[in-house]
Chains A and B, each alone.
Chain A
Amino acid sequence: MDILSVSHLTKVYGEGEQRTRALDDVSLSIAEGDFVAIIGASGSGKSTLLHLMGGVDRPTSGTVLMNGQDVYARSDEALAVFRRREVGLIYQFYNLVPVLNVEENMTLPVALDGRVVNDERLHDLLNRLGLAGKRGCLPNQLSGGQQQRVAIGRALMNAPAIVLADEPTGNLDTKNSREIMELLVQSNRDFGQTLVVITHDEDIALMADRVISMEDGRIVSDERIRR
């Protein structure tokens, strides 16, 4: 069953001579529980596609359906609710809130949703992520790997339907990269969460069920390598 369906998605930035077609009539579907890797050169449109799938940006044309519902038919406020409930976003540069400690950063989407934090899930995630001893630390007290774990924890805290990661290991060393990907894959398997990862790393791409290659805003290959 498809959890996400993208149809004729186009994104154009700028106007006149500055006009850039970042995404050009892209259509694809992602099945629930799938681990999809999107690869491509810089400027191929990977991050744009990811942001559009996550409800962070609005497309120039085309639709994004999440569980059959048009993401961009929603108001800005409803789109914010969508982002905090149904999507978990992970960035290359962590993007943590500097004044919040580890557990506050991880639980921020829950708080924004006005719900009570599930302490059991928080402790479970902290333990899985190896952050149990760092709960009260601020981002600038953590290493890059630890910050990315916090970002993963934040993405998973709400148990979203889909986790979208934009080069999550791009800023980390080999050891940390491997550990981070193991965490994501583990989560994908344990919780059945759909995982879409943008990467330049061929090893990471090979961990995925499906690999999509992009070039100049278009999908040039879409290959299922597992299952």
Chain B
Amino acid sequence: MSVMGRFTTRSLKKNLVRTIVTVLGVALSALLVTAVLSTFVSLNRFLYDMELAESGSWEACVELADGAQAALAQEDGSLSAAGAQLAATLSDIGFCSYDDLGETGGNNDMSYLALKGFNGDVSSVLGLRCTDGRLPQSADEVLLPYNLSDENTGYDNGYRLGATVTLTFGQRQAPEGRADVGGRLNSSQGFYVVDANGVTSANGARPEEMVSETLVDKQTRSFTVVGFYSRWNQAVVTGVGWTAFTAEPPAPGAFTEAYLEVPGAQTSAEVESAATQAFPDAEAVQLHNSLLRTRGVTSQSPLWESFGAIVAIMAVVVIVACISLIYNAFNISVVQRMRQFGLLASIGATKRQLRRSVALEGAIIAGIGVPLGILAGLGATAAALAWANPLFMESVVGDVGPGGNYLDGLSLGLHIDGGIIAFAAVLTVFTVFASLLVPMLRAGKASPIESIRDTRSVRIGRRGMRKAAAAARSKRAIWAPRGFAGRVMGVGGTIASLNRSREKSKGRTASAALAVAVTLMMTAGQLDVTLSTLTRTADVIPYDFMVFSYIDINRPSGNGGEQAVSDDGDAPATADDGGAADAGSSYDEVIDAYGNLYRDLSQVEAVQPRGWQVSYDTAGIVPASVTGDAVGMVKAELPDGDCMPLLTVCLMDDQLFDELCSRVGIDPQEITESETPKAIGAGTTYSRNPETGTFSEQSLFASTGAIRVLQGSSVNGAPLTSFYFDYGDDGSGEIWGCSRPDAEGNQELSPLAEADNVLADVDVVAIAGKDAFFSSSNEMTIAMPLSKGVEWGFGRSFMNSMSFSAMLDCDHDRMMDTEEDLYAATNGFSSSFVKAYPGTYVHTGVSNLYSSQVSMTNLVSIVRLFSLLFSVILVLIAMANVFNTLTNSLALRRREFAVMQSIGMGRRTFRSMIAAECVGYGAWGLVFGVVASLVVGLALNMALGSTIENAAFTVPWAYLGLSLALVVVAMGLSVAWGLHLCRSRNIVEALRME
């Protein structure tokens, strides 16, 4: 080893504490970088594996009008020329009407069962896996959706393993004259609908509602049922429903989806380009973005972009923190040895040798710290992932329901990626050498003359000189107290003030270290506050299940169900009044049926009922003084200053309403014993302001008062049953109503202001706050007791838009059983209702809010765990930085302190001087730290704000306090250690030191 090398290693050994702190700082940096990267890689790997299991390995899906194109592209080499591989195909064979599939229960709103042939390894390419049985191996075997199985429906249709079934299927034919869809419709297209405006749409319609689309060329084929699947993914869901699969290559002329893999593609554009190059006549190309994203090929998602922005911001914070820590350590080390460097220069050491000496010091420290940090980072990540795995599995994959076994063996564990470890090492070494740059240059500038002369005097800048001269010219007494510190702490404080004002560089490093510490801690806090807000949001819903339903009477207008307004303009006649009973259920029967459903749900084992309600959408006329200013609320301005908003009416069961009254603070009897309609208004909504982009609480009802609620509306005798807001060309806007389509599909459509309307006066006697049982989006909402609402006639004209919801709690240890029982109860309800009232259609659903909340809470817990680990490491870096900087800056001044003590500075004065200086450093550090952390916090908020609700920026006061406390602790420990170092040498030794 060269002389300079020995000089460097001895210097490291001699200053062991500083060396250890610096090694720890480098190790912490490597740990943090490794932990962040390996967590990201492990999570990404997990998502990749899960995506593979869920949706398969395909990267692009090309829609071909003719199945022959797929084979042709393989034969003529255009696939290989494009760098793509044909991994699998799915081709249309036909579509089965549910009417031809036998009894399947009353709760199925799919249009058709598509029959498709597959070719290729669809299990791995498309994630098509069986719940029972196996995949078809020939064209006479079929795989069916589990919901069709006899086991699921309870009917004997022959849909069981090993049975032979005969499927009747045909081709979808668009209505005549609709050239825009080319006659025949394929499985990628939704059910063909023409709405009231003649606009094509394919969402949510049912075959019996629309007469436009038909099945033609019907034929039959027999298959042996070899398997069932129960999981949704790209492959099994078409535009019109679920799919039955057989093993059959694409037939010429059949609509075919060709699934491609493009090995080596680096961007989503390359994947898309390869697909279009291989199939230039493709009708459409769809990319498997969720898989490509985990491969780093694409990032086309706002959430992903937010995540990327947060990682980038945190990476910058981490790098800055690490550079600050390591720079301080090396800078102090070099400053301490400037005389040594000067003496070495005086005996012939070149600038290059001096710089290399410092670089060697950095290399030795990095050589120890980087491997140590990487190992610790991998260990910490593995431990954190092992802890998080059960929660993660529960929250991310726990909700897959039946058929979730395809995820067996999947777990969130440490994925060690050599490239990432190398990247972490290179990044940390880069950080070390970036931190070394200035100290290296400083070492090279060591002056032999100053070292030989041994002037020892600290150089004060011009500013300090000017201040010193000004002090001598000043008329005030020489040692008059200066600054706040001088007034409080006497001469010690005054000397500290002089130190700070005349030699700013002395405290600059310490202040910078403290500022970085405050920034790091508050940044960690900012993350935590955001995630805490998410947790609070997840906690809002105070019940476990919501069961919902709506009943579609499905009769043309004028034939019951909806009630036209009576000609004389009186309160609308009800469905009971005539012409309805023979065709379907009446309003009172529906209300009774819902009451019975709630009773049935309440009797499910382990269920504790919380209440139920029905609600429907209508419109109202509300005085301006009563209308709130919620930004998203749609309302038409009326000439007299009132406004006409869309309005939701909730009819709560009486007990639930009583509880609401109790929360609002009114006596229920004020409403239940009233002769005229009275209600409670929903006061606020929590929604996003489209102008500012922030979420906030906005008012719906500004005050109590009288409003008018639409009880019924008609045009040309046809009841208007649904309403929407048309913004109009000039932005003024008005509310329109439309009727249900008649047998010919015709609908009445009219501005509400021009319709025959019946309005009821309602006195809104109280305003509720944010209430989980009574929530609203951006619409004004009123609640009244069900018994009185029915008596006053609310909802009679809007049966088809009326929805039922029941709120239920249950014993959490039999959550899954309860959910199944609730499903059974709702299915029983829908089946019996459909049987009792033919022609009606019942939609039901069960939302397991508790599971969703648990999943959310788990996910938040995981993210908070990683945030906490990140914060702990940041705090350690911050504390190490403060400790290193303060102790060394005090140690550097041992001689200065010895001088003061030798001329009579007592211990008390000395302590007050140091305390005053530290408070000064701390104050500046705090100011800069808070400003910097607010900037970082705002940047984080901007990154989060576009995707996460409740991300409105708030100052994390608790973390500011915590940062202050930690900074004070770090300063206290550092100063105590620094003073200990100062005291360990007596005055004479300190005066003699170099």
Which A residues contact B (CB, under 8 angstroms)? 47-48, 51, 54, 56-58, 76-77, 80-85, 89, 91, 93, 95-104, 107-114, 116-117, 122, 135-141, 147, 154
Q: A95-B899, A138-B460, A138-B464 are in contact. Are A101 and B469 (CB under 8 A)?
A: yes
The 18 sampled A-B contact pairs (Cβ below 8 Å) are: A57-B987, A80-B904, A81-B904, A83-B904, A84-B905, A85-B904, A89-B902, A97-B495, A97-B899, A97-B900, A98-B457, A98-B460, A99-B458, A99-B498, A99-B502, A112-B905, A117-B478, A147-B457
Name 17 extra pairs, CB < 8 A, besides A99-B458, A138-B468.
Answer: A57-B988, A80-B907, A81-B904, A91-B991, A95-B902, A96-B457, A97-B896, A99-B464, A99-B495, A99-B503, A109-B903, A109-B904, A110-B479, A112-B904, A117-B479, A140-B458, A154-B903
Collect the chain A residues with CB atoms within 8 Å of residue B491's CB: 111-112, 114
Sort A-B residue pairs by CB-CB distance and give the 9 closest, nearest first: A84-B904, A136-B472, A136-B469, A101-B468, A98-B458, A80-B906, A111-B479, A83-B904, A135-B472
In angstroms, Cα B479 to Cα A122, docked, is 13
Q: From residue 476 to 495 of chain B, which have CB atoms closer than 8 A to chain A?
A: 477-479, 490-491, 494-495
Judged by a CB distance under 8 angstroms, whether B14 is at the interface is no
Within the complex, what minimum Cβ distance (angstroms) separates B917 from chain A? 11
In angstroms, Cα B494 to Cα A110, docked, is 14
Collect the chain B residues with CB atoms within 8 Å of residue A114's CB: 490-491
Collect the chain B residues with CB atoms within 8 Å of residue A51's CB: 988
A93 touches B456 (CB 8 A): yes
A100 touches B498 (CB 8 A): yes
A101 touches B471 (CB 8 A): yes
Judged by a CB distance under 8 angstroms, whether B908 is at the interface is yes
Judged by a CB distance under 8 angstroms, whether B199 is at the interface is no
Within the complex, what minimum Cβ distance (angstroms) separates A73 from chain B? 17
In angstroms, Cα B986 to Cα A140, docked, is 26
Q: A83-B904, A84-B904, A140-B457 are in contact. Are A104 and B988 (CB under 8 A)?
A: no
Q: From residue 691 to 741 of chain B, which have CB atoms closer than 8 A to chain A?
A: none
Mark contacts of B450-473 with chain A using CB atoms, 8 A cut-off: 1 yes-contact digit, 0 otherwise: 000011111110001100111111
Q: A138-B464, A138-B465 are in contact. Are A96 and B472 (CB under 8 A)?
A: no
A116 touches B988 (CB 8 A): no
In angstroms, Cα B465 to Cα A80, docked, is 29
Closest to A102 in B: B472
B899 touches A99 (CB 8 A): no
Collect the chain B residues with CB atoms within 8 Å of residue A58's CB: 986
Name the residue in B470, B473, B479, B896 with the highest tally of chain A Cβ atoms < 10 Å from its Cβ: B479
Judged by a CB distance under 8 angstroms, whether B757 is at the interface is no
Judged by a CB distance under 8 angstroms, whether B853 is at the interface is no
In angstroms, Cα B903 to Cα A219, docked, is 27
Within the complex, what minimum Cβ distance (angstroms) separates A47 from chain B? 8
Within the complex, what minimum Cβ distance (angstroms) separates A5 from chain B? 21
Closest to A104 in B: B478
Judged by a CB distance under 8 angstroms, whether B909 is at the interface is yes
**Residues of B contacting A: mostly:** helix
Closest to B465 in A: A138
Residue in A48, A83, A101, A137 whose beta carbon sits within 8 Å of that of B903 in the complex: A83
A136 touches B468 (CB 8 A): yes
A99 touches B901 (CB 8 A): no
Judged by a CB distance under 8 angstroms, whether B831 is at the interface is no
Closest to B470 in A: A136
A112 touches B456 (CB 8 A): no
**Residues of A contacting B: mostly:** helix
Collect the chain A residues with CB atoms within 8 Å of residue B899's CB: 95-97
A141 touches B465 (CB 8 A): yes
In angstroms, Cα B479 to Cα A113, docked, is 11
Residue in A91, A96, A113 whose beta carbon sits within 8 Å of that of B904 in the complex: A113
Q: A76-B907, A83-B902 are in contact. Are A136 and B478 (CB under 8 A)?
A: no
Mark contacts of B550-587 with chain A using CB atoms, 8 A cut-off: 1 yes-contact digit, 0 otherwise: 00000000000000000000000000000000000000
Judged by a CB distance under 8 angstroms, whether B499 is at the interface is yes
Closest to B500 in A: A99
Collect the chain B residues with CB atoms within 8 Å of residue A95's CB: 899, 902, 991
Collect the chain B residues with CB atoms within 8 Å of residue A76's CB: 906-907
Within the complex, what minimum Cβ distance (angstroms) separates A103 from chain B? 6
In angstroms, Cα B905 to Cα A139, docked, is 19
In angstroms, Cα B479 to Cα A161, docked, is 24
Within the complex, what minimum Cβ distance (angstroms) separates B905 from chain A? 5
Collect the chain B residues with CB atoms within 8 Å of residue A93's CB: 454, 456
In angstroms, Cα B989 to Cα A48, docked, is 11
Q: A97-B899, A99-B502 are in contact. Are A136 and B904 (CB under 8 A)?
A: no
Within the complex, what minimum Cβ distance (angstroms) separates B397 from chain A? 65
In angstroms, Cα B491 to Cα A108, docked, is 9
B471 touches A136 (CB 8 A): yes
Closest to A141 in B: B465
Closest to B893 in A: A98
B988 touches A107 (CB 8 A): no
Collect the chain A residues with CB atoms within 8 Å of residue B479's CB: 104, 107, 110-111, 117
In angstroms, Cα B910 to Cα A97, docked, is 14
A81 touches B906 (CB 8 A): yes
Collect the chain B residues with CB atoms within 8 Å of residue A154's CB: 903
Collect the chain A residues with CB atoms within 8 Å of residue B455's CB: 140
Name the residue in B458, B490, B904 with the highest tally of chain A Cβ atoms < 10 Å from its Cβ: B904
B903 touches A99 (CB 8 A): no
B902 touches A56 (CB 8 A): yes
Closest to B455 in A: A140
In angstroms, Cα B495 to Cα A136, docked, is 16
Within the complex, what minimum Cβ distance (angstroms) separates B892 from chain A? 12
In angstroms, Cα B902 to Cα A112, docked, is 12
Collect the chain A residues with CB atoms within 8 Å of residue B471's CB: 101, 104, 136
Collect the chain B residues with CB atoms within 8 Å of residue A85's CB: 904
Collect the chain B residues with CB atoms within 8 Å of residue A48's CB: 988
In angstroms, Cα B471 to Cα A76, docked, is 32
Closest to A157 in B: B903
Within the complex, what minimum Cβ distance (angstroms) separates A23 from chain B? 12
Collect the chain B residues with CB atoms within 8 Å of residue A77's CB: 906-908
Collect the chain A residues with CB atoms within 8 Å of residue B503's CB: 98-99
Collect the chain A residues with CB atoms within 8 Å of residue B460's CB: 98-99, 138, 140
In angstroms, Cα B288 to Cα A98, docked, is 69
Within the complex, what minimum Cβ distance (angstroms) separates B245 from chain A? 85
In angstroms, Cα B896 to Cα A51, docked, is 17
In angstroms, Cα B899 to Cα A102, docked, is 15
Mark contacts of B488-524 with chain A using CB atoms, 8 A cut-off: 1 yes-contact digit, 0 otherwise: 0011001100110011000000000000000000000
In angstroms, Cα B497 to Cα A111, docked, is 15
In angstroms, Cα B459 to Cα A81, docked, is 30
Within the complex, what minimum Cβ distance (angstroms) separates A78 from chain B? 9
Collect the chain B residues with CB atoms within 8 Å of residue A102's CB: 472
B905 touches A101 (CB 8 A): no
Within the complex, what minimum Cβ distance (angstroms) separates B872 from chain A? 39
Residue in B458, B469, B494 whose beta carbon sits within 8 Å of that of A137 in the complex: B469
Closest to A11 in B: B988
In angstroms, Cα B457 to Cα A183, docked, is 24
In angstroms, Cα B476 to Cα A117, docked, is 12
In angstroms, Cα B904 to Cα A111, docked, is 10
Q: A97-B899, A104-B478 are in contact. Are A80 and B469 (CB under 8 A)?
A: no
In angstroms, Cα B505 to Cα A98, docked, is 13
Collect the chain A residues with CB atoms within 8 Å of residue B469's CB: 101, 136-137
In angstroms, Cα B985 to Cα A56, docked, is 12
Within the complex, what minimum Cβ distance (angstroms) separates B916 from chain A? 14
Collect the chain A residues with CB atoms within 8 Å of residue B904's CB: 80-85, 109, 112-113
Closest to B494 in A: A111
Collect the chain B residues with CB atoms within 8 Å of residue A108's CB: 900, 903
In angstroms, Cα B900 to Cα A154, docked, is 12
Collect the chain A residues with CB atoms within 8 Å of residue B909's CB: 112
Collect the chain A residues with CB atoms within 8 Å of residue B457's CB: 96, 98, 139-140, 147
B903 touches A89 (CB 8 A): yes
Collect the chain A residues with CB atoms within 8 Å of residue B905's CB: 80, 84, 112
B490 touches A101 (CB 8 A): no
In angstroms, Cα B906 to Cα A83, docked, is 10
B473 touches A136 (CB 8 A): yes
